[in-house]
Amino acid sequence: MAVTRTFSIIKPDATRRNLTGGVTKMLEEAGLRVVASKRIHLTKDQAEGFYGVHRERPFFGDLVKFMTSGPVVVQVLEGEDAVKRNRDIMGATNPANADEGTIRKVYAESIEANSVHGSDSDENAAIEIAFFFKPDEVVG
């Protein structure tokens, strides 16, 4: 299995509850390595651009409002089959459907305040990493 990279966001509900370390510990224990990380406050433009594929969805406005409601931690994660590994440890989008032991089962508050985002494919991981990081900011 190849070592690949994925993109992660620790969302405002998690930073508000001081869970950056708790979430990151679960990512690391799942075999992922943090090779880039920064804490930022997303602008409305950034949130709308990042979630552009969801622009027509009914929850888009609330999603942008939530993602700009407090700091987030954007990260690049590296590991074997990183996209799938990260999605497995994150759990289902809706915490009500998330498996035991996943980040969203342990920490998420709701489908919106679901503590973490993770890329859904290698292609989108590359796009999402480039949205927030310059190549020399990722140190493997």
Candidates 34, 63, 126, 138: give the one binding ligand CMP (CB under 6 A).
Answer: 63
Q: What residues have CB less than 8 Å from 10, skipping those under 6 apart?
A: 19, 20, 23, 24, 72, 73, 75, 115, 116
87 in contact with ligand CMP (CB under 6 A): no
Q: Catalytic: 54?
A: no
Contact 135, 82 (CB under 8 A): no
Q: How far apart are CA 73 and CA 34, in angstroms?
A: 11
Candidates 81, 109, 112, 122: give the one binding ligand CMP (CB under 6 A).
Answer: 112
Q: Please give the single-letter amino acid code of residue 4.
A: T
126 in contact with ligand CMP (CB under 6 A): no
Count of residues that interact with ligand CMP, criterion CB under 6 A: 8
Query: Where do we find the tokens 């990512």?
Result: 27
Both tokens assigned to 111: 């489908």
Active-site position among 35, 117, 119, 129: 117
Q: Name which of 13 and 133 has its Cβ closer to ligand CMP.
A: 13
* Bridge partner residues of 118 (DSSP): 8
Q: Name which of 24 and 114 has its Cβ closer to ligand CMP.
A: 114
Q: Under the rule (CB under 6 A), what is the footprint of ligand CMP? A: 54, 59, 63, 93, 111-112, 114, 117
